[in-house]
Amino acid sequence: MRVTDPLYALYARWLRQQLRGGELPRHIGLIMDGNRRWARRRGIGNPSLGHKYGAEHVDEVLSWCDALRIRHVTVFVCSAENLHRRGDAEVAFLMQVIEEVLTAQLAKPQPLWRVHIAGALDTLPDTTARALKEAVEATRECTTGAHVTLAVGYGGRQELVDAMRELLHEQAEAGRSMRDLAADLTAEDIARHLYTAGQPDPDLVIRTSGEQRMSNFLLWQSAYSELYFCDAYWPAFREVDFLRALRAYAARQRRYGA
């Protein structure tokens, strides 16, 4: 169905009605996969343009979250592996897209989302790192209570390494021995040094494109997350696909490992 089809609008309304009174996730993680494949399927000469359409689509998806009062969203923009394994031209184009989209968002008079960053900024081009830092500063006083975390140059394993490194430095500066740390170490000690410190863990992680894996995304935080895999490529991810994911989440009984 096309988005302009009246039947689509009726179906979307019906799905929203099904969610009324149901439990919605407080925090959603989005693995926006399939940009290049979508571009090839559409016959676009340069598949990297799929990244542009995908990045622009994030704003629309955030509007769906806002309408349902979902206040925490983490978007997997690109992985650390993407930066190392993709061609230089594709990576440069992706970084340019990130900068342009952030600039457009910051031009809005009142940002709806407070921006956070997850990832190693020192691995990014200076202009991209600066744009991300400016987005964080420009939205720091956002009063809507909505938080979007952009995972850029992100790797879940590296996040844990960085968290442990910071924890060890902190304990060393406090004069504690490694034996003392080992005796008292808790999960909370590690969590407060993660890139996402202070934010709730994701209740639901959605991945598009039909792939069914986490790809090193929020490994610690998603320990008890519900997972939902959608066949649509990210730029073609529709509101009804989003609502179906929420319906599936609401129908599940979360067990938290029990």
Catalytic, 216? Answer no
d(CA 16, CA 88): 43
Q: Which of 35, 82, 201, 203 is catalytic?
A: 82
Average pLDDT over residues 158-165: 97
Q: What is the pLDDT of residue 1?
A: 41
Average pLDDT over residues 200-207: 98
Residue-wise pLDDT tens digits, 89-103? 999 999 999 999 888
Is residue 109 over pLDDT 80?
no
Q: What is the pLDDT of residue 66?
A: 96
Residue-wise pLDDT tens digits, 217-236? 999 999 999 999 999 999 99
What is the overall mean pLDDT for the chain? 93
* 78 secondary structure, DSSP code: E
CB 125 within 8 A of CB 71: no
Catalytic, 82? Answer yes
Dump the DSSP string for 171-215: HHHTT--HHHHHHH--HHHHHTTSTTTTSPPPSEEEE-TT--S-T
Q: What is the pLDDT of residue 160?
A: 97
Q: Which of 33, 35, 201, 203 is catalytic?
A: 33
* 22 secondary structure, DSSP code: S
d(CA 72, CA 21): 20
Write down the pTM of the prediction: 0.94
Lowest mean pLDDT segment, chosen from 17-31, 39-53, 106-120? 106-120
Average pLDDT over residues 42-48: 94
pLDDT band at 107 (very low <50, low <70, confident <90, very high): low
pLDDT band at 127 (very low <50, low <70, confident <90, very high): very high
Q: What is the pLDDT of residue 218?
A: 98
Q: CA 119: distance to chain centroid?
A: 11
